[in-house]
Structures are given as C-alpha cells and as structure tokens.
Amino acid sequence: MLKQSPRKQEKGSFEEYWPQMRPVILKLLQQEPVSRSEWQDLFWAVHTVCLWDDKGGPSKLHAALKEDILEFIHKAQANVMSHQEDQALLKAYIAAWRKFFIQCNYLPLPFHQLEFSLTNKNTGTTTKKSQNEESIVRKLMHDSWNASIFSNIKHRLQNSAMKLVHLERNGEAFDSQLVIGVRESYVNLCSSQNDKQIYRENFEKAYLEATESCYRTKAPEYLEANGVQNYMIWADLKLKEEEQRAAKYLELASLPAVSSLFYLLDLTIEYLQLSDCCVKVLVTEFKDLILAECPGMIKENETERLADMMAAADIITQDSEKYVEQLLDLFRRFSRLVKEAFLDDPRFLTARDKAFKRVVNDTSVFKLELTAKPKGQVTGQPCSVPTKLQPESRCPELLANYCDMLLRKTPLSRKLTSDEIETKLKEVLLVLKYVQNKDVFMRYHKAHLTRRLILDSSADNEKEENMVEWLRDVGMPADYVNKLARMFQDIKVSEDLNQQFKNAQRSNEGSLSDSINIKILNAGAWARGSERVQVSLPLELEDVIPEVEEFYRRKHSGRKLQWYHHMSNGTITFCSSVGRYDLDVTTFQMATLFTWNERPHDKISFENLKLATELPDAELRRTLWSLVAFPKLKRQILLCEPEVKNPKDFTDSTLFYVNDDFYIVKNGKPQKRGKLNLIGRLQLSTEKSKEEDNESIVQLRILRTQEAIVKIMKMRKRITNAQLQTELVEILKNMFLPSKKMIKEQIEWLIEHKYMRRDEENIGEVLGEDRLKEILATRDVSLYWGTATTGKPHIAYFVPMSKIADFLKCGCEVKILFADLHAYLDNMKAPWELLKLRTEYYEQVIKAMLESIGVPLDKLIFVHGSDYQLSKEFTLDVYRLTTLTTEHDAKKAGAEVVKQIEHPLISSLLYPGLQALDEEYLKVDAQFGGVDQRKIFTFAEKYLPQLGYSKRIHLMNPMVPGLTGSKMSSSEEESKIDILDTPEMVKRKMKKAFCEPGNITDNGVLAFVKYVIFPLFGQFKINRSDKHGGPLLFVDYDAVETEFKEEKLHPGDLKLGVESYINELLNPIREKFKDPKLQSLVESAYPQPSKAKKTPKSAKAKKEKVVKTVEAEATAK
C-alpha cells in the first residue's frame, strides 16, 4: 500500500505515510493482532519518512507518536482511577502496567531509524538488548507513563500496598503478588537496572517508613503489656520476620537498609520522643513507664542502656531559648520526613500537625497557672478569692520571649545575620499556628514590643514592622495587629512632636528640652499596667511637665495627657570618689537616687525614703533592691544597714546610704568613667501589675467570650446551645480555645444581666431553674420519675435510667412511680385484670435495668400509684381539679402522652390531672420525665397553685427516636427493641432500623449512641474487622456524628457498634429473667394475642345456637 510509485518510495513525506502507520501503532499499543505485512510496512514507512522527509519528518513522527502514546495512557489512567477499593486499584494498575510494559519492548523496534535520525547517528548493527535500553521510543513511553499516570497515582499505590503489608503484619492473608507487582512497576520505570532512583525515592522509602510507623505503635504497647524481658524476645522475632518480608517485597540490594532500620526495636526514649505516632506519650511519662518495667534489665546490669534512656528523656530543658530551638528543630525534622518520605501526603501532614499540636500545648514541662474571678466578674468589680483554672502550656509565652530575643539587641540577635533572624521568626510563626491560646502570645509579645520601642532597644526597626505584617498573614486577630501598627505610628508621631517641642523651647534659657525625649502614646493601643503609680519626681522634671502639657494642648485641644512614670526612664551622672559614671535608670530609681542629691553622705531610713519618693511600699522595696543588689555589679551603688537577703526583710528602720567607693570593673581593673544600664527587666511593670498579668488574661477572655456571644445572637436572633458553642469556638479559635465551663458561665451571666434570654419554646430546658438553685443552696433535691405500666419497657428506658444514676450520684432522693391507674385511664391499654401483673413485671424489669448499669437499689424508693391515688383525699383533689380545668387544656396537656381519638374518653382527659397531683402526694421537689411530658408539666405549673399547692421543678430528658424514625413507643412493635429481646431479635431489628447514610435527623441509632452509650460508657467502640478498616474508637459523640454526617462512618458499622452495646446492657437482664417464676410472670402479664383474641368458629356457632334456643323458649312461654 505504501509502494504506489518509485518516486514516493524515495521521497516519502510524513503527511503521506502517517495515516497508514497510525492504525498499526494503535494495534500495538492495545495488544491487538498485527499481520506480517503490516509489521514490515511499518518498518519501511518509518525508514522512508526519516530518510526522505527533509521538512522535519522525524520530529513530526516523534510528536505524533507521543500524542498517541499519551492518549492511550490517559485511557488507562481513567480505567485505573475508577477503582476506589485498594486491592481493585492495585489489580487494575498492575494489569495496565504489564500490558503497557510488554509493548515497551515491541513498539520501539520499528523506530530504530527514528532514533538514529534524531540523534544524528549513522546506521549500525547493535544488539537487541542495547537497542531496548537506549531506544528513544522506549524512553518516551516510560516518561509519558511516569508523567501522566504514575506521578498522579503513586501516592495511592504506595498507601494501598502498605495497607496490605500492614494486614500481613497483623496475621491476615492477601495476594502478595499485588505488592510485588507494584514494586516491579517502580523498578521497571527506572532508566536502567543500576539506577533505581524512582524505586528508592518512592516505594522503598514508603515501605521503610510504614514499617517504622507500625512498630512505633506496636512496640510501646507490647512493652507495657509484657515487660522488658519478653519484649526483647518479641523484638528479635519481629526483626527476623521483617527481614523475610523485605526479601519478598523489596529489591535484594535494599536488605541492609531494612536491617539497620530496626534499631527502633531497642525502644530508646529519644527515638520515641521524635516519633510522630508516639508524641502523645509525654517523654517523662514514657520514661517512668520504661523504668518501672525494667527491673530485669537492671538486674542484668544493663545500666548503660537505661542511662541512655534517661539522657534522651532529659533533652527538654527549662531554658526557653533551648526549648524553642529544639521545638523548631523537631518541627523541621518531621516536616522534612513527611516531605521526603511521603511527598507531603495529606494524611501524614495531618498526623504531624496533630502530634505537634499536642507537644506545643502540653503542660507537663512548662505550666502556666491562671486564676479567674468567679461568676463572670470583670476587672473593677469586687472580687472574692480568685479561682484557679486548668493549667495551660507556657509555650506561647516562651515563643514570645524567643521573638523578643531575636528582635532585641541581645547576644543571640548579634550573632545572627538579618536573613537568619527573619527565617527563625517565620518558623516561630509557623509553630504559633499550633498553639491553642494565642492570646497569651499576643499579651507577652505586645509587652516586649512596648519595652523595645520605649527603650529604643530594637535590633532592626524594619524587622519589627515586618513582624506586624507577618502576624497579620498568619491570621492573628485584626484588632490586635492594628494596635501593634498603631504603636509604630505613635513612635513616629512622637519623634516629630519632640523636634517641634525642642524648637519651641530653644529660646528659653535653662530649659531641659534638649535632654528630654517625650513619647505620647495612644492609651488604647499600648500595653500598660492596670494603675498609674504616684512618684515624687526631681524638681528639674517637675518643671518640665507643665511646659510639655501646655505645648501639647496648643497642638491638640481637647486631649488629655496622663503620665505613666513607671514606663519612663532616663540617664543620670553618678559621681563617686573613684570617678563619674552614666547610669541608665528607671524613673523610680532616679527619684530614689535624687533623694541623696542635696545630702550625699547621709544615711536615710526606709520610712523616710517612702515619704520622700511617695512610692508604694512594694515598688520602693523592688527599686531599692535593684540598687543594693544589682546582679552584674561587684560594688553596689547603695549600701544598707543591716544587710538583708531579700527585699521583704527591709524594715522602716533599715538605713540606706550612697557607696562612695563605687566603680565599674572592666577587664579586672577599676574604671574612672563608664556607662551602666540599671533598668534590666524592671521597666514598664509594677509589682501589682505583675501579679495581675495572668488574671487579666482570663478577664480579657471573659470579655471576648461575652462579646462574641452577643455578636452571634445579634446575627442569629435564635440559636441552639450546641450551634452557639460551635460558632463561638470558630470566632475565638484564633485567640484562644474557650472551655465549656467558661462558655456556660458567660451564657448564664448574659442571661442574668438580660443581654439575652432562653427560648421559652425550647423543650430541652429546665422548668423552674430558679427554684432549683434555691433548693440546692440549702439541701439536696427530691424528685420522682413515673412510668405507666402499659406495653413492655424497651431500650429507650435506659435514657432516664442513666439520668437517675446521675441524680443518685449527686445525692438526690429519687422515687420511682409505677403508675398503674394511669395505665388504666390511657384508653384501657392495660385491662384492670392485668394491671397488678404488669406493675409487678415493670418493677422487676426497671430494677434489673438499674442493676445492669450499676445503680444501687437501696437508695431508691418504689411506689405504686394505686396505693394513694384511690384514697379519699386524692379523689377529692381530682374533683376539685376538674372544676378548674377546661377540656381544651386537658386535651392539649395529654396530646403527646395519651392516645388521642376523635371523641376522647373522659379517662384520657383525667390523665394529666392525676399526673400533676402526683407531685404533691409524693412530696417531691421535682418531677423528671421525657420532653414529650412537657405539656403536662406546664399544665401542673398552671393548676397546682390554683389548688393551693406549690409549683414543682420539671426536668426533662430527650426522647430517643424509634427504629422507624419516629418516637420509640411500647405500643409500636417495629419501632422498639424490648428489654427481653434475644440477641437474634436485636440483630434483626437493628438491621431493619432507619439509618440513612449521612442523615442525622430522626436517627434512632445515633440518638442511642448520644443519650445512652456515651453517658453510661464514656466512649463508643466499633469492633469492625480489619477487612473493613479495623476497630474504631470514639471518645466524644460529636466525632461520631461528624463522621456519619460526612459519610465516613458506614450505617452498617454504626449499627454493629450499637448492637454490641445493647446486648451488653441487656445480657444481665436476660440472665435474671431465666428464672421460671419471672418467665411465668412475663407470660401472664403479656399473654400472646392468639390466646386472648382467637375464637374458634365451632364455639361461636354453639353460642349462637344456645341464644336462639333461649329466645325460642321465651317466645313459647
């Protein structure tokens, strides 16, 4: 076909031959049969185009071939990626790769001439092997596969393969050829047998890291369970298993790397501390665990290994600089590990983030003790003894201190370059995002910045301003960042004002304007103490202050200046018998030293110094101590008699005098001139403000929480408590994480002060909360819970049972009412003949349920309703109540409890009244029931006072939806699981239960988890097989609901977990009811419908015959 004329054979063009070449190439790619003539013609066409098409034929052929290869690969990629299950994905990929790899050996053969043409080589004879290795087409196929499918899917391939290997480690069987096939594809993609870069950087590294990860989890668990000696034997066994496994799944050349990897089986504390999986275990706690389990090692004299463990455990230091440096190093190392080993796989990044968040918020090493004023008080209000709160991590404070060391003129900042400082600051901000309580960092960073700006001690002003923008970029609150920016603005404005003031005062002779540097700061932007400290300034300064105020008043009328002397400083000249020295001092130090200006040789008592300086006692003690015991000086400026070891030891009679022999020592020699900074860390704080620092953090959190709650309520108008808490955390998370206790207290405070109110239509509230608080202030509460003895009790009864357990733990007196008369009135659900039997059955079941959840029965009082409801007094009260109650109110009150019909019976209208009177005749403070009882509760609150009885408190538990999605009812068989249902019946009913994926509304299965399982067990565990992902453990309900809502938790798994807990609760009850007497009671109280309702036709006919006979006899008479 390609040989139509001799001219075309010699002068062939790409455009002419390609339409005939392409079908053959596609057949080869798809492994379809190719005839001999087609195969030979392909050789000839490639040869002709490469030799005779001088208008870029070889390049066009290469480009067209690449396009077809990419098209084929994209189709293969779509087929592979369509599989979601791990093993199916691996099978599809391996099949596609092997098919493609075979063609990598055949397709390049016809294109030898193309290779020679593109590389400008002469035609020569080479071996087939070397041709395959050097073929441009083969390289094109590999590179295309690598770029198009391998790079997009390799993470899933590696993870899927590693999951299968993990299953093998856990003893499960699977097709090992799946892992081997993936390994072979990585090796075959390498350009040569000697260069396995793709394999080593991806598959091998993922395998090694997965192995480490596995034993990071297993090793400490085994050690804790079995002790050190057994652990060593286990470790040796596992090492041999892994060597055999590596021989199967890895290239033989990599076996030494695997062997060296298992130094982790020595389980050193240092390695576990740096492990992402084990960071949740604190170093000190894990160290204690190892030491407690190592008596055998000590007896065997293996003290060297234990010493290594101790040394590794003590790498955390109390030094903030070293702590932050090691924290940053830890983050860098694990970030590099995740990047290089797992190519920043999102799952490993998430694991790193969770682990690092635990580290920076840990309180075992650095602990910050916070105190709070009770009941939502704010600063300025009278306060009782402060309450200690849960300790927090000091990490944010240490990060702020570290930033201060980098930005201030310190030895650390001097030895680093500008770029290095910038890098470290950005690393600190990167770590800061893991800190929960960023408001602590804000407070300390702002205080340090205030100090640096006022003292002009910044190492680099540009870095200072850049830091503000970096804080904005990492999501710090805008109001906080704006205040920092305002601080820089104030400094610049102050510089201009200072210059203008000096120019204005130059005409005044003797003015100190040239020696004064005034900073006028915005009070709202700058960190300052809670109070201004009064001090008697030197006369020279007292004369300058009015001049400054007058100058500022002319510039800015209407503004008021407040002087903060504790934030001021100056330089004075101190003269001794040795020389003259310039001292940088605080305003308080200056005022104290100027006391001796007119009488340099006098000794002045502490009492007289207090009168002269007018400083508060605490501030004067602190200031004097800095002058008599400055740590950097061998000779102090002031001396005192008698000598003391603590500023608290100063008395009113302690004498102070100037040290006339003071001098500065440099290189071991006294200096006649010099400069000394005495400010130290005294500046910008008072003794009282230091004590209030931590408390003010909490007070600011309270105000922030109240502000956020009000903001949410203004926007939402009406919101549930759970949603309010969620939105509140979302607003405050960039500052701090509010505790549930704080949220609850501030909601109560806002309600009390009428900023917001509870929704009266909210059925989950407590009716009579104020009365409840009044009773609890003096004594324990008495209450009752009642149940009508109608249908068989079901598992939803565990909701009130769990709350009854809570009431008993709180010291409440609890009565349980078996309302047999109510059962009779409720449309005769229970005939009178069965009431006694059913009441006895209810009593036995309720007691068994309480025993199954560990409630002591001796603290409960059991009452039958008919014991007092048939009395004369109760009956008269019922009559009195009927004279007050309207039909509408009675019908409305029982709407959700009593079965309503079109023409209700009088009995159903009496039901709410009897339940209201129960509160009075049981002599209780409160009634406890489900939210479906709310209308009866409000009925009781309305009518009992009209009878002369007091209102009771009403507590309500939520109702668990039934298995069909509606209310779980004793009268609806398919909606409930009875207490005595067998495990088989439970399984059958759970299988039919409504549990739509992602639907959390009217989901009875989820509701049982929330209101029964978590209150009773504190956790929810699903014993799922490893085939379906392994066991799951949830420690809070919100996580369960979120996983189910996002369809990460399958309904089948949810039902499986709930079923196991139901059977665990019911098993003790089933055992108790194996008693023949109780079985007989069940059969008598609830006879089978067939026995009660079925009437034989013969009996019916016989009855009719007797009736007719009697009628005939009557007629005859």
Bridge partners of residue 656, in order along the sequence? 604, 640
Q: Decide: 178 and 94 in contact? Cβ < 8 Å.
A: yes
The set of residues, in sequence order, having a beta carbon less than 8 Å from that of 350 and lying 6+ positions away, is none
Provide mean pLDDT across the span 327-335: 82
Alpha-carbon separation of residue 204 from 277, 496, 605, 645, 769 (angstroms): 20, 65, 79, 65, 65
Q: What is the mean pLDDT of residues 585-608?
A: 88
Split at pLDDT 50, 70, 90, the class of 243 is: low
- My answer on whether 800 and 911 are in the same domain is yes
Mean pLDDT for the chain overall: 75
Whole-number pLDDT of residue 278:
30
Q: Averaging pLDDT over each range in 538-542, 815-819, 970-974, which range is the top one?
A: 815-819
Given a cut of 70, whether residue 1108 has pLDDT beyond it is: no
Question: For residue range 831-884, what is the model confidence (pLDDT) as tens digits?
Answer: 677 778 888 888 888 888 888 888 888 778 889 888 898 899 999 998 998 888
Q: What is the pLDDT of residues 448-487, one digit of tens each?
A: 888 888 888 888 888 888 888 888 888 788 888 888 888 8
Find, among 76, 83, 81, 118, the residue nearest to 98 by Cα. Answer: 76
Mean pLDDT, rounded, for 679-685? 60
Place of tokens 């407690």: 292
The C-alpha atoms of residue 846 and residue 456 are separated, in whole angstroms, by: 76
Which pLDDT band holds residue 380 (cuts at 50, 70, 90)?
Answer: very low
State both tokens at 532.
Answer: 């201004």
CATH code for position 660: 3.30.230.130
DSSP-assigned states of every residue in 860-902: EEEEETHHHHTSHHHHHHHHHHHTT--HHHHHHHTTTTSPP-S
Are 571 and 559 members of one domain?
A: no
1098 assigned to some structural domain: no
Chain centre distance of CA 219: 26
Residues 33 and 170 reside in one and the same domain:
yes
178-182, 217-221, 953-957, 1052-1056: least confidently modelled range? 217-221
With a cut of 60, say whether residue 755 has pLDDT above it. yes
Per-residue CA distances from 705 to 67, 742, 746 (Å): 61, 8, 7
Q: What is the pLDDT of residue 655?
A: 92
Which of 471, 472, 323 shows the shortest CA–CA distance to 405?
Answer: 323
Same domain membership, residue 813 and residue 794:
yes
For residue 1097, the model assigns a pLDDT of: 45
Is residue 210 domain-resident?
A: no
Do 457 and 409 meet the contact criterion of CB atoms below 8 Å apart?
yes
Together in a domain, 978 and 1019: yes
**Tokens at residue 975, please?**
């909606």
CB 530 within 8 A of CB 689: yes
Least confident of 145-154, 681-690, 700-709, 1059-1068: 681-690
Residue 583 in domain: yes
pLDDT at position 425 over 80: yes
Q: How far is CA 186 from CA 157, 196, 197, 530, in A?
A: 10, 8, 9, 67
Q: Which amino acid is at 349?
A: L
**pLDDT at residue 1041 is higher than 60:** yes
Q: What is the three-state SS of 194-242?
A: CCCHHHHHHHHHHHHHHHHHHHHHHHHHHHHHHHHHHHHHHHHHHHHHH
704 and 615 housed in the same domain? no
Can you tell me whether residue 405 is helix, strand or coil? helix
Helix (H) or strand (E) holding 1034: strand 1032-1034
- The identity of residue 167, as a single letter, is L
Same domain, 524 and 647: no
Query: Tokens 């009752």 sit at which residue?
Result: 784
788 and 897 in a single domain? The answer is yes
On the question of pLDDT at 1062 being above 60, the answer is yes
Note the pLDDT tens digit of each residue in 600-637: 888 999 999 988 888 888 888 888 888 888 877 778 88
For residue 365, name the pLDDT band (cuts at 50, 70, 90).
low
pLDDT band at 925; cut points 50, 70, 90: very high
Interior CA angle at 1077 toward 1074 and 1080, to 5°?
Answer: 90
The arithmetic mean of pLDDT across residues 276-289, rounded, is 35
pLDDT of residue 364: 65
664 secondary structure, DSSP code: E
Residue 768 included in any domain: no
The DSSP letter of residue 23 is H
Q: What share of the chain is helix, strand, coil (3-state, %, to 5)?
A: 60, 10, 30
Residue 373: the pLDDT is 56
Q: What digits encode the pLDDT tens for the residues 523-545?
A: 777 755 545 778 888 877 777 77
Residue 638's H or E segment, with its range, is strand 638-641
614, 535 contact by CB (below 8 A): yes
| Beta-bridge partner residues of 666 | 669
pLDDT at 131: 40
Contacts of 846 (CB under 8 A, 6+ apart): 787, 793, 797, 801, 816, 818
Matching residue, tokens 């691996």: 90
Is 566 in contact with 588 (CB distance < 8 Å)?
Answer: yes
What pLDDT is attached to residue 281? 29
pLDDT at 176: 76
Task: Give the pLDDT band of residue 924 (cuts 50, 70, 90).
Answer: very high
| pLDDT score of 688 more than 60 | no
Task: Give a yes or no: residue 877 inside a domain.
Answer: yes
- Which pLDDT score, from 0 to 100, does residue 354 have? 84
135 pLDDT higher than 80: no
User: Which has the minimum average pLDDT: 523-532, 1045-1054, 1074-1083?
Assistant: 523-532
| 211 has a pLDDT exceeding 50 | yes
Does residue 76 contact residue 98 with C-beta atoms inside 8 Å?
no
Whether the per-residue pLDDT at 2 is higher than 70: the answer is no
Sign of CA dihedral 585, 589, 594, 596: negative
Distance (Å) of CA 321 to CA 450, 691, 787, 883: 21, 24, 65, 81
**Phi and psi for 572 in degrees, rounded to 5?**
-120, 160
Query: What CATH number corresponds to the domain at position 720?
Result: 1.10.10.10
**pLDDT tier for residue 513 given thresholds of 50, 70 and 90:** low
Q: Are 72 and 30 in contact (CB under 8 A)?
A: yes
Domain boundary among 515, 546, 563: 563
Instruction: Tell me if 225 sits within 8 A of 275, measured CB to CB.
Output: no
Q: Do 801 and 855 form a contact (C-beta atoms < 8 A)?
A: yes
| Position with higher pLDDT, 790 vs 122 | 790
Q: How far apart are CA 213 and CA 702, in angstroms?
A: 42
- What's the CA gap between 561 and 522, in Å, rounded? 10
For the ranges 134-138, 281-285, 476-480, which has the lowest average pLDDT? 281-285
Domain extent, residue 840, equals 781-923
What separation in angstroms does the CA of 863 have from each of 492, 819, 837?
81, 8, 15
The percentage of the chain sitting over the pLDDT mark of 90, rounded to a whole number, equals 3
pLDDT at 1 over 70: no
472 inside domain: no
Q: How far is CA 763 from CA 339, 633, 937, 954, in A?
A: 52, 72, 11, 11
β-bridge pairing 580-586 and 569-575: antiparallel
Last residue of a domain, one of 889, 923, 957: 923
Tell me the C-alpha distance between 964 and 971, whole Å.
13
Strand partners, 956: 929
Looking at the fold, whether 731 and 797 belong to one and the same domain comes out as no
Cα–Cα distance for residue pair 231/242, rounded to 1 Å: 16
pLDDT for the residue 744: 79
- What percent of the chain has a predicted confidence (pLDDT) above 70? 77
34 and 136 share one domain: yes
- Least trusted range by pLDDT, from 183-187, 493-497, 947-951: 183-187
Is position 838 within any domain? yes
Q: Which pLDDT score, from 0 to 100, does residue 261 have?
A: 30
CB 141 within 8 A of CB 149: no
Look up the CATH number of the domain holding residue 1052.
1.10.240.10
More confident call, 532 vs 684: 532
> Residue 773's closest CA among 798, 790, 748?
748
Average pLDDT, integer, range 14-26: 79
- Please indicate, yes or no, whether residues 791 and 895 belong to a single structural domain of this protein: yes
In this structure, the answer to whether residues 20 and 133 fall within a common structural domain is: yes
With a cut of 70, say whether residue 89 has pLDDT above it. yes
Average pLDDT of the residues in 970-981: 74
- Interatomic CA distance for residues 730 and 361, integer angstroms: 19
- Other beta carbons within 10 angstroms of residue 533's beta carbon come to 20
Tokens of 36: 């001999």
Tens-digit pLDDT profile for residues 713-723: 888 777 777 77
The domain total for the chain is: 7
Residue 491 in domain:
no
- pLDDT given for residue 559 in this prediction: 74
Of residues 562 and 132, more confidently modeled: 562
**Could you count the other beta carbons within 10 Å of the beta carbon of residue 200?**
17
